[in-house]
Chains A and B, each alone.
Chain A
Amino acid sequence: MIELEGLTKRYDEKLAVNNLTFTVRPGVVTGFLGPNGAGKSTTMRMVLGLDHPTSGDVRIDGKRYDQIEDPLRYIGALLDAKAVHGGRSAFNHLLCLAQSNGIPAARVHEVLDTVGLTGVARKKAKGFSLGMGQRLGIAAALLGDPRILMFDEPVNGLDPEGIHWIRTLMKSLAAQGRTVFVSSHLMSEMALTADHLVVIGQGRLLADTSMADFIAKNSRSYVRVRSPQRERLLDVLHEAGITVVETGGGALEVDGGKAEPIGELAARHQIVLHELSLQQASLEEAFMRLTAQSVEYHAHSEAPGGTWAQPVPRGEWGADWKKGA
């Protein structure tokens, strides 16, 4: 369990992390989301005692990181996969880490095998591809078979097979009762892995909620209907008391999660349908809306002003979820 209490970090002028309070619990994968520069990596460095908080506190099962006697056995972390001496082989890199915590050398072979680097164990790390480097970092995190795992953007540079593998890995680690804390920019990625969600923007907590809650609150589902007899269909739906939104391209959208009643209604009135499909507003959109105010590094696209499915008053978002969590 990782507990943050009013955690704050200021670099000169820059308030990188602003009064964060939340708890990462065992047995579930906790996703840590935020746009670039939100303070995710800084927060993780403070958990590991690498950066001193300006104020506030972070505890691991009640202890400060430097009070833990067997750190690698307790927390495994992947912060920056490039944080390796390039001239050292994968094996020696892991061996020196293992020795510093009295972990048997046999364990090095095990983790190399787990991440699939056995074949290049004696190769220098500087020759590794992005994905191989990431795997080496993951191997280092797993080395002590720790109770808590922390990954900073682990899917960075992994191929689809690797992404699938790390997803499964994180879930199985959590299923064994471990605490798994993983950062990402991608809501869609988190939707597949995380059970719990912590969202930050410009160092501040924006949401601390279960994934299920987040999805329930944010995925507007609707049925898209297209028909050559559009006018007639509109009339029929109107008569049945169903509200319809007309969208571009001749399609109609009906709020609600069921396509069957609409199909049956059309059949009864002998209306030809070209499309009848259940649609969901993406979580990515919900995440972007949530963090929109706190995105620091905007890229400017040609068409400014996103097309949100449903404009929502911004102030309410974070507040609402914090209450719900």
Chain B
Amino acid sequence: MSTPQPPQAPPAWPATPDSRTPGYTSPIPVVRTHLGHAIASEWTKIRSVRSTMWTLGVFVLLVIGIGLGTGALVASSSSDLGGESPLALGFFGLLLGSMCVITLGVLTTASEYGTGMIRTTMTACPSRGRVLAAKAIVFFLVAFVVTLVAASVVALAQASMLENHGARVPTGSEWFKGTVGVSLFIALLGLLSLVIGSIVRHSAGAITIMIGLLLAPLVIALFMFAESLSKVRTGLLEYSIPNQLSVFYSNSLTSSGPTGWDPLWIALGVTAVAFAGAFVLLEKRDV
């Protein structure tokens, strides 16, 4: 600390003009650093790079564009929703948009390894867990708020566009799941990406892993024709990320599997385990 030092014993090394000085004390007030400082720092970081604007910009465009597009398409056609909830149409935009959130999540951690910035970061905040926590909190809040805004805009627009097209009026719980629920799920998916980025330490590698996780189970399941594999096939389908996302709109591709808020708890569990792994690795490895 920069509190005044007790006078030191005379130096044993050859005298220099300043060997009398016991040490330097700065006039700047000393602050004990805590998580709040790390969060402020990460907030400055995330808002001061282009990749944030790009990924979130494209995300909002995809979610709102596709959401309003499908809504308009259904509204202009003669088709009838037959008592379905209109919110379900927000699904496609969010599914595509989730790739942007994944990318931003990965970049939040992995890009620091690519640039070498991580060494500067860890020097400024030697508590590695604190750095990871601050990144996670800032990213999660940003991803959640942006998704919530985009999803709510789409949900409101679709509900009003499709009122006269056979859509039923969504219940309060459907509204909640279709806005807050999906936003929590997408933000958690992004958080998992952030954690994978911290483990893999390589942006392209981590993004590839996450896109694979997003799409592979569904694609693999589609090609599992063998009867003996039907159980595995159903499992892959049910627990694939797209299907879990659709559960929030209660239009699951399958009849069994996760229901209600299950996808959120599953995502939370997986992310928590990955987070613990990332934390252990972060402490163990050299930066």
Interface residues of A (CB under 8 A from B): 25-28, 45, 48-52, 65-66, 68-75, 77, 79-80, 82-89, 92, 95-97, 99-104, 107, 140, 144-147, 174-179, 195-196, 210, 212-213, 325
Contacts and interface: CB of A to CB of B under 8 A. Distances in A.
Contacts of B44: 92, 95-96, 99
A101 B37 contact: yes
Contact of A69 (B1, B20, B123, B124): B1
Nearest to B127: A66
10 contacts: A27-B19, A45-B119, A52-B286, A71-B33, A79-B120, A85-B45, A89-B48, A100-B37, A177-B22, A210-B14
Interface of B: 1-2, 11, 13-14, 16-28, 30-33, 37-38, 40-42, 44-45, 48-51, 111-112, 115-127, 286-287
Contacts of A103: 28, 31
A68 B125 CA distance: 10
A220 B31 CA distance: 52
Given A26-B24, A50-B119, A99-B40, A70 B31 contact: yes
B23 A177 contact: yes
B123 A77 contact: yes
Contact of A27 (B18, B27, B122): B18
Given A70-B33, A101-B37, A102-B31, A212 B23 contact: no
Contacts of A26: 21-24
* Best-buried of A27, A72, A107, A325 by chain B (most CB within 10 Å): A27
A175 B126 contact: no
B16 A27 contact: yes
Contacts of B30: 70, 73
Contact of A97 (B22, B41, B116, B127): B41
Contact of B48 (A74, A75, A96): A96
A177 B19 CA distance: 8
Given A140-B120, A175-B18, A176-B24, A73 B41 contact: no
Nearest to B38: A100
Given A92-B44, A178-B23, A212-B14, A71 B37 contact: no
Contacts of A104: 28
Contact of A85 (B24, B25, B111): B111
A189 B22 CA distance: 27
Given A73-B2, A174-B18, A178-B24, A51 B117 contact: no
Nearest to B48: A92
Nearest to A46: B286
B28 A144 contact: yes
Nearest to B287: A50
Nearest to B134: A100
Contacts of A88: 45, 48-49
Nearest to A81: B116
Contacts of A83: 115-120
B287 A51 contact: yes
A179 B50 CA distance: 38
B123 A71 contact: yes
A70 B16 contact: no
Nearest to A88: B48
